[in-house]
């Protein structure tokens, strides 16, 4: 129990519970199952992307091209729909093709970061510009709406299992899968090791370049899956629909306790970070906060949350140091 | 090494300063000559003479959204019909400063007419002044700029009329003159959306006192997905909600999607400004009751047609028939042109349109 | 002869200029050169502000909203009948207040800059929305509009002179003062700097204050040029300014970065945007080209470093 309390994720959970308590006091709707399902389903895309971003941030890098990547895959899906037959095989094919498209683009990021050694923020800023520019040039910003979607995909998008929308399962699979990779595979352990201490991990024989390549390729892969989720959720492809989403994703990851300088971060922490942002968004209308003040409230909560989180972390580190001295 | 840096920098700066010096001279002589020059002198300008035909630049708020794509195709079509060179270009974000840069580059290109849909009317004022000093005809379209400055102002509809029309349509769709409604907007800082919303609110206040607007207008970042989520939240927080007025083209789609998924087609009415092809799937099952807009392609066409007239020294008249567009209205000031009344897109007619 | 990163970039800037002068019609026209000089300063100042923060290993995502908020400050003063000078002072004070807030949370509480500024970005945007209700504030005096639209001595745009002055000041501050040296030291090794007796928190605080001062100057130029201010004033400059700083050779992990490099990078961006517009490129392709240049130049740096190393080891081998 004590070990649990010491975890960094506890402070964010505390903030979530606090806001949740306030919200359920203000609005009777907040604490309903329907509302929670809406919140989670509405943030599946951010959740999937944030999980991929967690791995990158653990290795002390960053990827600002995620939203552009996801849009590019979503647009490709939109075009694919005109070729695919209307059957369940199409949905299956989609789950093969979309992640591969994402993976290829992620690999390009990864190669530039690991082999050419350009800082990740520069690479991804560059690919953000290139991909977003090309998408806009090719699509001219035009929507693809659900009239062109195969019925099988619509059926998939609306499918519910045990009362839960399919997208929630998708997020769960991605989360558990990534957690498993982090904890139980060699490459996952290497990710954590490199983030913790690059030099010593290289000395013990971890292939630094391979790990970097892996995290960016995996991000691309997840962007492909996120694109399917996005298309299923909005039932349309909007080339401008995810503009600026990368900052929300990064915010969720760092709010969830991942250290931007690497070495720290967890899947459940990130999911809590996504949840915090989601609840704040949801709560604005529920709590009937004046439109013009919503951003002030959101910004203030983020600043307070990160400061509080950092202070409690520092305090626990100080304690740790003292104990070592005493012993 | 350091020396080289300094020399390079100095060279670049020098080129700039020299050019700036020249600019001042030519600029002053230009403005002297052009101040009184009418339309004809434009036709004789070197560039237009070389390529035969006028250069008309049409600047949207941003490129790459369906609405402005539709007006682009109209503008291009007009260029082909009327044999003028149409240059349709704008910023990739609805950012006032980026738009000003586009206009400045167009001035450098020496076009004959610049028609702009300003993101922020005040911010294009200085650059339009500059364009006028260079003898370029300036006009606005879609959204008005400073009235004193432009030679012509092309408007799709009358803002007041449009806002009130949407309000009436919503009440009609609700089938009752009482109940709670919410208003969604594209962004809090979009001037024309704000004008429509104000007009709609006036209409509710004056003629439908039983209508209660539950919250301040809610911004949706011009994204369907955001409008969808906000509408879901609205439906939960205000279970008695009877109607949603969604202003900006993606917002009605998102609102309708939420109503559709909650199966509230009969309880909650949605009316907003959207393109017919995008809204077709929602009009179909009644989740979107009416989309109100105009044909943006026609607006682009009209802008170019009027731009050509302007460059040739003509002014449009009230009730004039413009080929490919129809009869236009000109307001008392002689330069505000209104394309026509707003068009309603419904389940019945949405399939007839291709924009 | 060995060329520094910055000189190579300078040559690239010169080459782009010459290339566009040949292929883009009207690029060299006095009119166009002039409008480029009017366009460059506002972005250049934001890029310099970003660079100073990046040298410390941080990043300031709230910088454009600091500029917008400071512009709102100036606009409120001007529209309420105050003169130009009080308006400028208020603009700077607004910005410094924002900078002090960022600086406090970063340096005293110790939260990482990207987190703090991510939050304050939303916060400042919210404050502007709460003040302006989203509408624009416009209609300033003729005199004020001269700052962004007027000429110095009737020759050079005043705004580019302001930019040049602040670029030189920044260069001097960074390279000649003890604060500047501490900034670089902090950027390359935080702990070592602390142990060598530098008050880290004070250095950092000044960095955020200085960056917001530059943002305020940029805001004054922008509000004067556009005669108006709105919540999204200059918001498109955010990621661009990071791109300009790193293209200019600034190390994203801190410790290295020169004013002249950033200035060259800003020029390259300016030439390309303007030139491609003149050539009639679709605006979204301009972004593509800029992204490609960013990656190409950094890849070039990598390969030239590598060749240099190979050459050095060869030379060393010969000497032995």
Q: Using CB atoms, pick whichever of C267, C278, C287 lies closest to residue B109.
A: C278
B71 close to B297: Cβ distance less than 8 angstroms:
yes
Q: Which residues of A touch B66 (CB under 8 A)?
A: 141-143
Same domain, B205 and B147: no
Q: Using CB atoms, pick whichever of A118, A128, A311 lies closest to residue C298.
A: A118
* B neighbours by CB contacts (3+ pairs under 8 Å): A, C
Query: Beta partners for B326?
Result: B322
Given this model, what pLDDT does residue A322 score? 63
Q: Using CB atoms, pick whichever of A141, A235, A290 lies closest to residue B66.
A: A141
CATH number at residue C217: 1.10.3470.10
Q: Which residues of B touch C265 (CB under 8 A)?
A: none
Q: What is the pLDDT of residues B10-24, one digit of tens each?
A: 555 555 444 444 333
d(CA B340, CA B342): 7
Given this model, what pLDDT does residue A203 score? 80
What is the span of the domain harbouring residue C140? 5-319
Mutate to test the interface with C, among A296, A308, A315 (most CBs of C within 10 A): A296
Provide the token pair at C135: 């509408």
**B109 interface with C at CB cutoff 8 Å:** yes
Name the C residues in 290-319 with CB < 8 Å from any B CB: none
Q: Which residues of B touch A136 (CB under 8 A)?
A: 63-64, 92
Same domain, B221 and B288: yes
Number of domains in chain B: 2
ipTM exceeding the 0.85 mark: no
Provide the token pair at C208: 């955020």
Please tell me what DSSP assigns to residue A237.
E
Same domain, B109 and B189: no
Whether residue C1 has pLDDT greater than 70: no
Answer yes or no: do C284 and B122 touch at CB < 8 A. no
d(CA C256, CA C254): 6
Name the B residues in 229-248 with CB < 8 Å from any A CB: 229-230, 232-234, 236-237
What is the span of the domain harbouring residue B50? 24-155+296-339
B127 close to B140: Cβ distance less than 8 angstroms:
no
Answer yes or no: do C284 and A250 touch at CB < 8 A. no
**B351 interface with A at CB cutoff 8 Å:** no
Q: Does B48 reside within a domain?
A: yes
Name the B residues in 199-238 with CB < 8 Å from any C CB: 219
Given this model, what pLDDT does residue A137 score? 87
B60 close to B38: Cβ distance less than 8 angstroms:
no
Q: How far is C280 from chain A (nearest CA, A)?
A: 14
Given this model, what pLDDT does residue C244 score? 92
Pairing of strands C137-138, C228-229: antiparallel
Given this model, what pLDDT does residue A191 score? 85
Provide the token pair at C227: 């005669």
d(CA A132, CA A128): 6
Q: Does B8 reside within a domain?
A: no
d(CA A52, CA C96): 37
**A59 interface with C at CB cutoff 8 Å:** no
Mutate to test the interface with C, among A118, A139, A140 (most CBs of C within 10 A): A118
Higher pLDDT, A50 or C234: A50
Same domain, B247 and B273: yes
**C133 interface with B at CB cutoff 8 Å:** yes
Backbone angles phi, psi at C178, to 5 degrees: -70, -30
Beta strands in chain C (DSSP E): 137-138, 151-152, 156-157, 228-229
Mutate to test the interface with C, among B7, B10, B16, B116 (most CBs of C within 10 A): B16
Backbone angles phi, psi at C146, to 5 degrees: -70, -25
d(CA A254, CA A53): 10
Nearest alpha carbon to residue B139 among B298, B310, B300, B302: B310
User: Edge-to-edge strand order for the sheet containing B336-338?
Assistant: B85-88, B55-59, B113-116, B137-141, B152-155, B336-338, B329-330
Domain boundaries, chain A: 2-326
Kindly report the CA angle at A103 between A98 and A105, in degrees rounded to 5? 105
For every one of its 355 residues, what pLDDT tens digit does chain B have, with 9 covering 90 and above?
A: 455 555 555 555 555 444 444 333 333 333 333 333 333 333 333 333 334 588 999 999 988 888 888 899 999 999 999 999 999 999 888 788 889 989 998 998 889 999 999 988 888 888 999 899 889 999 999 888 888 889 999 988 888 889 999 999 999 999 888 899 999 998 887 778 888 999 999 999 999 998 999 888 898 888 888 899 999 999 988 989 999 999 988 899 999 999 998 889 889 999 999 888 888 888 988 899 999 988 888 999 999 999 999 998 888 888 888 887 888 888 888 888 888 888 889 888 877 787 7
Three-state SS string over chain B comes to: CHHHHHHHHHHHHHHHHHHHHHHHHHHHHHHHHHCCCCHHHHHCCHHHHHHCCCEEEEECCCCCCHHHHHHHHHHHHHHHHHCCEEEECCCCCCCHHHHHHHHHHHHHCCCCEEEECCCCHHHHHHHHHHHHHCCCEEEEECCCCCCCCCCEEEECCCHHHHHHHHHHHHHHHHCCCCEEEEEEECCCCCHHHHHHHHHHHHHHHHHCCCEEECCCCEECCCCHHHHHHHHHHHHHHCCCEEEEEECCCHHHHHHHHHHHHHCCCCCCEEEECCCHHHHHHHHHCCCCCEEEECCHHHHHHHHHHHHHHHHCCCCCCCCCEECCCEECEECCCCCEEECCCCEEECCCCHHHCCC
C-alpha B247 chain-centroid distance: 13
Residue recorded with tokens 């683009």: A105
B96 close to C225: Cβ distance less than 8 angstroms:
no
Q: Helix or strand or coil: residue A203?
A: helix
Given this model, what pLDDT does residue A287 score? 83
Residue recorded with tokens 């709010």: A255
Provide the token pair at A232: 């299923």
Name the C residues in 153-172 with CB < 8 Å from any B CB: 154-157, 160, 164
Same domain, B258 and B170: yes
Computed on alpha carbons and rounded to an integer, the radius of gyration of chain C in Å comes to 21
Computed on alpha carbons and rounded to an integer, the radius of gyration of chain A in Å comes to 21
Handedness of CA A300, A302, A303, A309 (dihedral sign): positive
d(CA A42, CA B226): 9
Helices H, strands E: what count in chain C?
A: 13, 4
How many other β-carbons are positioned within 10 Å of the β-carbon of residue B239?
9
Q: How sure is the predictor about C49, in pLDDT bands with cuts at 50, 70 and 90?
A: very high
Q: Using CB atoms, pick whichever of B65, B230, B236 lies closest to residue A29.
A: B236
Same domain, B192 and B289: yes
Given this model, what pLDDT does residue A144 score? 80
Q: Using CB atoms, pick whichever of A125, A261, A302 lies closest to residue C294.
A: A125
Q: Using CB atoms, pick whichever of B4, B16, B122 lies closest to residue C227.
A: B122
Nearest alpha carbon to residue C166 among C55, C286, C290, C45: C45
Q: Which residues of A touch C130 (CB under 8 A)?
A: 292-293, 295-296
Handedness of CA B157, B161, B166, B169 (dihedral sign): negative
C212 close to C92: Cβ distance less than 8 angstroms:
no
- Under the phi-then-psi rule, with left for phi > 0, alpha for psi from -120 to 50, and beta for the rest, what region is C249? left
Same domain, B151 and B185: no
Section C234-263 average pLDDT: 89
pTM of the predicted model as reported, rounded to 2 decimal places: 0.84
Backbone angles phi, psi at B326, to 5 degrees: 125, -165
Q: How sure is the predictor about A323, in pLDDT bands with cuts at 50, 70 and 90?
A: low
Q: Helix or strand or coil: residue C151?
A: strand
**C100 interface with A at CB cutoff 8 Å:** no
Name the B residues in 11-30 with CB < 8 Å from any C CB: 11-13, 15-17, 19-27
Mutate to test the interface with B, among A29, A135, A141, A289 (most CBs of B within 10 A): A141
Q: Does B353 reside within a domain?
A: no
Provide the token pair at C295: 């990656």
Please tell me what DSSP assigns to residue A106.
H
CATH number at residue B28: 3.40.50.2300
Query: Beta partners for B140?
Result: B116, B153
Give the number of C-alpha atoms closer than 13 A to the C-alpha of residue A23, restricted to the C-beta side: 24
C122 close to C238: Cβ distance less than 8 angstroms:
no
B246 close to B182: Cβ distance less than 8 angstroms:
no
d(CA C209, CA C49): 10
Kindly report the CA angle at B200 between B198 and B206, in degrees rounded to 5? 100
Given this model, what pLDDT does residue B335 score? 85
d(CA B150, CA B146): 7
Q: Using CB atoms, pick whichever of B66, B215, B257 lies closest to residue A288.
A: B215
d(CA C163, CA C44): 7
Q: Using the 3D structure, point to which of B293, B319, B350 is the last residue of a domain.
A: B293
Nearest alpha carbon to residue B302 among B111, B141, B161, B63: B141
Q: Which residues contact A195 (CB under 8 A, 6 or more apart)?
A: A58, A59, A60, A262, A263, A264, A265
Q: Using the 3D structure, point to which of B278, B293, B308 is the last residue of a domain.
A: B293
Whether residue A217 has pLDDT greater than 80: yes
Q: What is the pLDDT of residues C123-176, one digit of tens each?
A: 999 999 999 888 888 888 888 888 888 888 778 899 999 999 999 999 999 999
B106 close to B57: Cβ distance less than 8 angstroms:
yes
Distances in whole angstroms, Cα of residue B74 to Cα of each of B78, B162, B330, C277: 6, 22, 21, 22
How many other β-carbons are positioned within 10 Å of the β-carbon of residue C109?
16
Q: How far is C294 from chain A (nearest CA, A)?
A: 6
Q: Which residues of B touch A290 (CB under 8 A)?
A: 216
Q: Does B89 reside within a domain?
A: yes
Same domain, B264 and B316: no
Computed on alpha carbons and rounded to an integer, the radius of gyration of chain B in Å comes to 23
Q: How sure is the predictor about A254, in pLDDT bands with cuts at 50, 70 and 90?
A: confident
Section C174-188 average pLDDT: 91
d(CA A107, CA A300): 37
Answer yes or no: do B92 and A136 touch at CB < 8 A. yes
Please tell me what DSSP assigns to residue A84.
S
**C37 interface with B at CB cutoff 8 Å:** yes
Handedness of CA B27, B33, B34, B40 (dihedral sign): negative
Q: Which residues of B touch C9 (CB under 8 A)?
A: none
d(CA C245, CA B59): 30
């Amino acid at each position: 129990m004590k070990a649990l309390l010491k975890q960094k994720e506890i402070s964010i959970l505390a903030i979530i519970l606090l806001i949740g308590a306030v919200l359920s006091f203000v609005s009777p709707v907040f604490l309903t199952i329907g509302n929670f399902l809406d919140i989670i389903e509405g943030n599946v895309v951010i959740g999937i992307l944030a999980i991929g971003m967690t791995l990158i941030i653990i290795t002390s890098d960053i990827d600002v091209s995620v939203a552009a990547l996801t849009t590019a895959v979503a647009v490709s899906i939109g075009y694919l729909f005109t070729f695919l037959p209307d059957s369940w095989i199409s949905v299956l094919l989609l789950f093969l093709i979309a992640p591969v498209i994402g993976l290829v683009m992620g690999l390009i990021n990864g190669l530039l970061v690991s082999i050419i050694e350009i800082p990740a923020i520069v690479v991804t800023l560059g690919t953000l510009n290139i991909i977003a520019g090309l998408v806009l040039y090719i699509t001219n910003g035009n929507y693809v709406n659900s009239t062109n979607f195969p019925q099988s995909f619509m059926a998939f998008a609306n499918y519910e299992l045990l009362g839960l929308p399919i997208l929630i399962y998708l997020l769960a699979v991605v989360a558990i899968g990534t957690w498993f990779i982090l904890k139980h595979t060699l490459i996952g352990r290497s990710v954590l090791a490199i983030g913790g201490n690059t030099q010593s991990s290289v000395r013990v024989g971890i292939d630094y370049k391979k790990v970097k390549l892996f995290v960016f390729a995996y991000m691309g892969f997840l962007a492909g899956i996120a694109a399917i989720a996005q298309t299923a959720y909005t039932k349309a492809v909007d080339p401008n629909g995810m503009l600026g989403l990368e900052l929300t994703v990064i915010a969720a990851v760092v709010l969830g306790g991942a250290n931007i300088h690497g070495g720290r971060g967890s899947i459940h922490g990130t999911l809590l970070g996504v949840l915090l942002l989601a609840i704040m968004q949801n709560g604005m209308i529920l709590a009937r906060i004046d439109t013009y003040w919503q951003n002030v409230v959101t910004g203030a909560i983020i600043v307070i949350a990160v400061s509080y989180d950092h202070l409690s972390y520092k305090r626990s580190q100080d304690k740790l140091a003292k104990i070592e001295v005493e012993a | 090494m350091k020396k080289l840096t300094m020399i390079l920098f100095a060279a670049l700066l020098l080129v700039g300063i020299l050019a700036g010096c020249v600019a001042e001279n030519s600029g002053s002589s230009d403005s002297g000559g052009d101040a009184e020059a009418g339309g004809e002198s434009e036709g004789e300008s070197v560039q237009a003479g070389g390529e035969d035909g006028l250069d008309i630049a049409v600047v949207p708020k941003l490129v790459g959204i369906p609405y402005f794509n539709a007006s682009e195709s109209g503008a291009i079509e007009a260029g082909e019909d009327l044999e003028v060179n149409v240059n349709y270009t704008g910023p990739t974000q609805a950012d006032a400063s980026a738009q000003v840069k586009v206009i400045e580059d167009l001035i450098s290109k020496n076009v004959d007419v610049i028609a702009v849909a300003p993101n922020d009317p005040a911010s294009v004022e200085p650059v339009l002044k500059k364009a006028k000093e260079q003898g370029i005809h300036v006009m606005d379209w879609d959204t008005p700029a400073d009235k004193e400055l432009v030679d012509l102002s092309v408007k799709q509809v009358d803002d007041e009329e449009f806002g009130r029309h949407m309000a009436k349509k919503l009440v009609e769709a609700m089938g009752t003159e009482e109940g709670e409604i919410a208003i969604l907007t594209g962004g809090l800082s979009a001037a024309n959306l704000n004008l429509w919303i104000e007009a709609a609110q006036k209409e509710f206040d004056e003629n439908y006192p039983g209508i209660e607007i539950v919250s301040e207008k809610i911004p949706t970042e011009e994204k369907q997905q955001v409008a969808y989520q906000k509408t879901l939240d609205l439906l939960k927080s205000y279970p008695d909600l009877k109607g949603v007025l969604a202003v900006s083209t993606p917002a009605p789609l998102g609102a309708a999607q939420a109503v559709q998924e909650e199966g509230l087609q009969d309880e909650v009415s949605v009316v907003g400004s959207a393109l017919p092809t995008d809204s077709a799937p929602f009009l179909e099952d009644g989740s979107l009751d009416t989309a109100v807009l105009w044909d943006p392609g026609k607006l682009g066409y009209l802008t170019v047609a009027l731009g050509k007239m302007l460059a040739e020294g003509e002014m449009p008249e009230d009730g004039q028939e413009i080929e490919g567009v129809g009869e236009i209205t000109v307001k008392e000031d002689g330069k505000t042109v209104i394309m026509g009344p707003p068009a309603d897109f419904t389940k019945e007619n949405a399939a007839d349109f291709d924009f | 002869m060995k060329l520094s990163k910055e000189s190579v970039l300078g040559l690239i800037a010169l080459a782009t200029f010459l290339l566009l002068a040949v292929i883009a019609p009207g690029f060299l026209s006095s009119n166009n050169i002039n409008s480029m000089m009017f366009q460059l300063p506002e972005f250049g100042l934001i890029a310099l502000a970003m660079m100073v923060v990046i040298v410390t290993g941080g990043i300031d995502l709230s910088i454009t909203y600091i500029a917008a908020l400071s512009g709102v400050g100036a606009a409120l003063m001007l529209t309420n009948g105050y003169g130009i000078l009080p308006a400028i002072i208020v603009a700077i004070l607004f910005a410094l207040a924002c900078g002090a807030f960022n600086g406090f949370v970063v340096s005293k509480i110790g939260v990482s800059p990207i987190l703090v500024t991510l939050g304050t970005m939303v916060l400042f945007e919210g404050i502007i929305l709460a003040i302006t209700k989203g509408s624009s504030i416009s209609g300033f005096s003729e005199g004020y509009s001269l700052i962004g639209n007027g000429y110095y001595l009737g020759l050079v745009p005043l705004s580019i002179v302001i930019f040049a002055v602040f670029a030189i000041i920044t260069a001097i501050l960074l390279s000649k003062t003890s604060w500047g040296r501490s900034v670089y030291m902090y950027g390359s090794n935080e702990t070592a700097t602390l142990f060598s007796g530098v008050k880290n928190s004070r250095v950092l605080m000044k960095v955020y204050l200085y960056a917001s001062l530059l943002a305020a100057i940029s805001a004054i130029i922008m509000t004067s040029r556009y005669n108006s201010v709105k919540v999204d004033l200059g918001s498109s400059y955010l990621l661009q300014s990071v791109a300009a700083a790193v293209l200019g050779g600034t190390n994203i992990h801190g410790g290295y970065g020169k004013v002249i490099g950033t200035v060259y990078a800003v020029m390259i961006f300016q030439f390309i945007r303007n030139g491609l517009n003149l050539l009639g490129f679709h605006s979204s392709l301009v972004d593509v080209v800029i992204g490609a240049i960013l990656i190409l130049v950094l890849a070039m740096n990598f390969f030239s470093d590598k060749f240099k190393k190979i050459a050095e080891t060869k030379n060393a081998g010969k000497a032995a």
